[in-house]
Structure 1
Amino acid sequence: MSATTNTRKRLTSDAMIASIADSDRVARAPFGHALLAAARRDPRIVGLSADLAKYTDMHIFRDAMPDRFYQMGMAEQVMMGAAAGLAEEGFVPFASTYSVFATRRAYDFLCLDIAERMLNVNIVAALPGLTTGYGPSHQATEDIAILRGMPNLTIVDPCDSVDIEQAVPQLVASAGPTYLRVLRGAVPTILDEYDYRFELGKAAALRTGRDVLLISSGLMTGRALEAAEALAADRVDVGVLHVPTIKPLDEAAILAAVAEDRLILTLENHSVVGGLFESVAALLVRSGVGRRVTPVGLPDEFLIAGALPTLYDRYGVSTTKIIERVRALL
């Protein structure tokens, strides 16, 4: 082996694991702190992790309540079965792993052990959509599509720390299973400025606008609000409807919003196949509403690895690209 080969180093980029937060208004590990607060009030709450507690913010709960935490190792299917057993005995489990492992690897266990029995098990799924630059093995771009057809399962896609903090106690109180696309680490704090309260199963109109309606979920709601502010400078009036619960969908709120004659786009951190866009489009068809809806989301392909800002631009889901798309359609 040559000296050149010996000294060659693999190039890496810190941006590949950059936080999704792009401002100073952040909360650190909001899910972990919200779970711990809920557990102090409710002794039924327990936590499980498939060897990823530190990377799903479950470590906050683990360190404070080690006697109520179960480290399952890299065995997601076993974790789902254990969570089901705990729920059968009256506990309220929160089971954490990455979205790709919860959906692709453990689907059958989630379906038959948990959802079919309508157990209150809460799947805490980190790295949803395009929130890591490490390629298809960790990018859960199709997790909602995989799970939307599962009966009894509630799917929550929070925008920020406010959504997460307010959602956790409602998941505890919800009778059946929930899949939470959790945002980890430094999470933006956005919705506190919009007189907003998370309500399971409900959408929220954050802005009104006569020209454009952006129907968004997850972290894309933050970008929708940024785009709306930027477009206002061009006298384009943009409304934003935040849909934090993908299933069950708040059909009444969406139908009321699309009744106004304006440009409509859906924004999601997920493939355009099987997620928010198709949920909204199917609702309009079933309801006999003949309105065009334009999707802004990830393409139906395996995404490349790279720095997150570059990937957001490449796949058209950055704030800049959203603004460009709206302007092109007007």
Structure 2
Amino acid sequence: MGELIATRDAFGSALIACGGENKDIVVLDADLAKATMSVRFKEAYPERFFDVGIAEGDLIDTAAGLSMTGRIPFACTFAVFAAGRAFEQIRNSVAYPRLNVKICGSHGGVQVGKDGATHQAIEDLAIMSAIPNMVVLNPGDAVEMEAAVKAMVEYDGPVYVRLGRNPVPVVFDRETYQFEIGRGTVVREGGDVTLIATGCLLDVAVKAADILLQEGISAEIINIATIKPLDREIITKSVKKTGKAVVMEEGIIVGGLGSAVAAALSETCPVPMAFIGMDDTFGQSGDAADLMKYYHMTAGDTVMKVKGLL
């Protein structure tokens, strides 16, 4: 297994690197800096860091105000608080006027584990995707997160990015990988089925493809780090070749990547599809690995879905 790095750790490192290059970057947090890893920016550039306390509405509105002075604010908190408690401020104060605010939601998905259902943001990608003007990112590994943060700085407009709590394998090569908002990536070519994955399920897709290959089934892997705007072209091209697709996400399928891909393919290339993700249910407290098994988001579950399509 390759190097294991949590995407929130990569986020913290990328903030420091970008902050050194661009003095307009400021970082705000809602009393969770050690968890979101924005604390690293605080230690490096304390004069450009603001902790608003446990007040997520203030976090977003303050970031909105700073953006109107020419700053590039990164507003950090847990994903469940960003998508839930601060939804109104994100919608009306940031997205509606299309301000240059970057909203960073850490601890997304059920892998938060023993924090339980109240803190497991399984609907954040769906909620943020429903907001007009909002770009929604969910990088799959540390390399992609670092590249995504740089792209967020360069992009003029509101962006939501999900950060993962637990370490995940590094899939991409730091020297060669190129990230572009709105573009997917072919991680592995194949001809029998397309695995369309986002976030930490990218590694699950790779493991599932390895298992399938041993059984003579060739899976193409498409990594979708940008949930919105969705790269319809790369998905359609792959599915036209394979004729089948499995969409994989650590979150609610309805309104998330699964829904977005299904809507796109219904117009461009209708094919048999299956989905890995959360059905109409909340998470629960437990070990992260056990929860992934319980909600059928493992490589083995993906293999079963593929065989069901075949």
Q: Is this a same-fold pair by TM over 0.5? A: yes
Counterpart residue number, 2:16 = 36
Q: 1:225 to 1:185 in 2, by over 3 A?
A: closer
In the alignment, the residues of structure 1 paired with residue 282 and residue 5 of structure 2 have an alpha-carbon distance, to the nearest angstrom, of 31
Offset at 1:273? 0.9
Q: 1:194 to 1:269 in 2, by over 3 A?
A: farther
CA contact (8 A) 1:120 1:177 kept: yes
Counterpart residue number, 1:11 = none
- State the aligned residue count: 307
Q: Please tell me whether residue 290 in structure 1 is matched to residue 273 in structure 2.
A: no
Alignment-mate amino acid for residue 273 of structure 2:
V
In the alignment, the residues of structure 1 paired with residue 46 and residue 29 of structure 2 have an alpha-carbon distance, to the nearest angstrom, of 12
Offset at 1:187? 4.5
Counterpart residue number, 1:25 = 3
Q: Any unmatched runs of 5+ in structure 2?
A: none
CA contact (8 A) 2:220 2:238 kept: no
What pairs with 1:92-111 in structure 2 (closer than 5 Å)? Answer: 92-111=72-91
In the alignment, the residues of structure 2 paired with residue 39 and residue 246 of structure 1 have an alpha-carbon distance, to the nearest angstrom, of 26
Match of 1:159 among 118, 121, 140: 140
Counterpart residue number, 1:86 = 66
Cα RMSD, aligned residues only: 1.6
Offset at 1:102? 0.1
In the alignment, the residues of structure 2 paired with residue 284 and residue 200 of structure 1 have an alpha-carbon distance, to the nearest angstrom, of 20
Q: 1:196 to 1:116 in 2, by over 3 A?
A: same
In the alignment, the residues of structure 2 paired with residue 40 and residue 271 of structure 1 have an alpha-carbon distance, to the nearest angstrom, of 37
In the alignment, the residues of structure 1 paired with residue 153 and residue 300 of structure 2 have an alpha-carbon distance, to the nearest angstrom, of 37
Offset at 1:55? 0.3
Alignment-mate amino acid for residue 30 of structure 1:
A
In the alignment, the residues of structure 1 paired with residue 30 and residue 169 of structure 2 have an alpha-carbon distance, to the nearest angstrom, of 26
Give TM-score scaled by structure 1 length.
0.89
CA contact (8 A) 2:111 2:291 kept: no
Alignment-mate amino acid for residue 99 of structure 2:
L
Counterpart residue number, 1:302 = 282
Q: Secondary structure of the equivalent of 1:201? A: coil
CA contact (8 A) 1:201 1:245 kept: yes
CA contact (8 A) 2:243 2:271 kept: no
Counterpart residue number, 1:212 = 193
In the alignment, the residues of structure 2 paired with residue 291 and residue 325 of structure 1 have an alpha-carbon distance, to the nearest angstrom, of 14
Q: 1:36 to 1:187 in 2, by over 3 A?
A: farther
Offset at 1:286? 3.1
Q: 1:131 to 1:185 in 2, by over 3 A?
A: closer
Counterpart residue number, 2:208 = 227
In the alignment, the residues of structure 2 paired with residue 177 and residue 254 of structure 1 have an alpha-carbon distance, to the nearest angstrom, of 25
CA contact (8 A) 1:30 1:187 kept: no
The structure that has the greater radius of gyration is 1
In the alignment, the residues of structure 1 paired with residue 51 and residue 27 of structure 2 have an alpha-carbon distance, to the nearest angstrom, of 9
Offset at 1:87? 0.2
Q: 1:271 to 1:185 in 2, by over 3 A?
A: closer
Offset at 1:310? 1.0
* Greater Cα offset, 84-93 or 191-200: 191-200
Q: Percent identity?
A: 36
Q: Please tell me whether residue 170 in structure 1 is matched to residue 142 in structure 2.
A: no
Q: Please tell me whether residue 70 in structure 1 is matched to residue 50 in structure 2.
A: yes
Alignment-mate amino acid for residue 27 of structure 1:
I
What pairs with 1:173-184 in structure 2 (closer than 5 Å)? Answer: 173-184=154-165
Offset at 1:130? 1.6
Counterpart residue number, 1:14 = none
Counterpart residue number, 1:48 = 28
Counterpart residue number, 2:179 = 198
Q: Any unmatched runs of 5+ in structure 1?
A: 1-22
CA contact (8 A) 2:30 2:51 kept: yes
